[in-house]
Structures are given as C-alpha cells and as structure tokens.
Amino acid sequence: DAKTTQPTSMDCAEGRAANLPCNHSTISGNEYVYWYRQIHSQGPQYIIHGLKNNETNEMASLIITEDRKSSTLILPHATLRDTAVYYCIVRAYNAGNMLTFGGGTRLMVKP
C-alpha cells in the first residue's frame, strides 16, 4: 500500500465546509484512495473512495488531483457529529485482507 501523509489535527466551524487533505505521492496506477472515519468509541465508518475522477456521495466529496499525488475529502456542511479521526488509505483493489489505518487527521468541529 502507498504511504499517506495527513495533518495530525484540524478545526472547522459548524456549518462550514471541512477540507481534509491527504498526500500520497507514491501512489501506483492501480491504487485507489479510500477514506474512513472513526468517531470516538465507535467502529470505523467507510466514507468514499475513488481512482482518478472526483466522487461525491451523500456523506462527502473526494477531489483527486490530476497527477493523483494528493486528494481532499470535503464535508460540505460540517456538524458537531462529524468530529472524528479521518483516515486516508491508498491501496490496490482487493489487495490483501486487512485495512491498515495510519495516524489520520483528528477533525474537531466547533460550534
């Protein structure tokens, strides 16, 4: 799996967009970008994934740069319940059984 780099922590005002960056400069052509989050004392939650096109679902948008060396997860209108640790994972499709989470970004949404 390609190595990812994320900021340790970020703050966001409630109702504003939260933009969480992830660097993955060694990503290979067959590797996808996946985002998960983990709210305190709960299990991880899948958010979104993409290969090279931007993706959007009911939870978030994923913007991947043209060279695929970085990406941004966007929560368009952050709420207090979005306070969590957000993990960016890069890996090839169906490569191995285990998900490996790095340090992630601790997002604090403030009133």
Which residues in this chain contact another protein in the complex, by CB under 8 A?
A: 32, 34, 41-46, 49, 89, 91, 93-102
CB 33 within 8 A of CB 49: yes
Q: Which is nearer to another protein, 81 or 111 (CB)?
A: 81
Structure tokens, 58 = 């009911």
Q: Which is nearer to another protein, 8 or 41 (CB)?
A: 41
In the complex, what is the shortest distance from the CB of residue 10 to another protein, in angstroms, rounded to a whole number? 20
In the complex, what is the shortest distance from the CB of residue 111 to another protein, in angstroms, rounded to a whole number? 26
Beta-strand ranges (E) seen in 1-111 are: 9-13, 18-23, 31-38, 45-50, 55-56, 61-64, 70-75, 84-92, 105-110
In the complex, what is the shortest distance from the CB of residue 93 to another protein, in angstroms, rounded to a whole number? 7
